[in-house]
Amino acid sequence: MIAFILIEIATLVLAVAWFQRFVQNPYNIVIIFCLLVIVGIAVLTVLSINARLKELEKRMESRDKSIRISIMTVEADIEGQLSRLNDNVEKAVSEINKKRFV
């Protein structure tokens, strides 16, 4: 927010100085200073956006890791339950076969 206010002020001063350059010196230091302020704030804004995107990327990677770990845990639990169920079914089938042939 502060950066945008500074850009607006610098732009207004630049516009006034630009229109007055025809009356005064064509190499007005105010124009150069305002342009430097605008370019500097634009660079800082881009760097700030870049930093926020990197932070967001790190957050997404950490969430992705935690989701992968959760999926692996659930997968292992399901495999364990399925193997126990399979063992129980095999035991039941073998008992039924023993009773049927006895």
Every domain of the chain and the residues it spans: 2-74
pLDDT mean by block of 10 residues, the chain; 102 residues:
74 75 67 78 86 96 94 95 95 87 68
- Tokens coding 21: 């350059």
| H-run or E-run covering 96 | helix 29-101
- pLDDT on residue 22: 65
- Beta carbons of 37 and 13 less than 8 angstroms apart: no
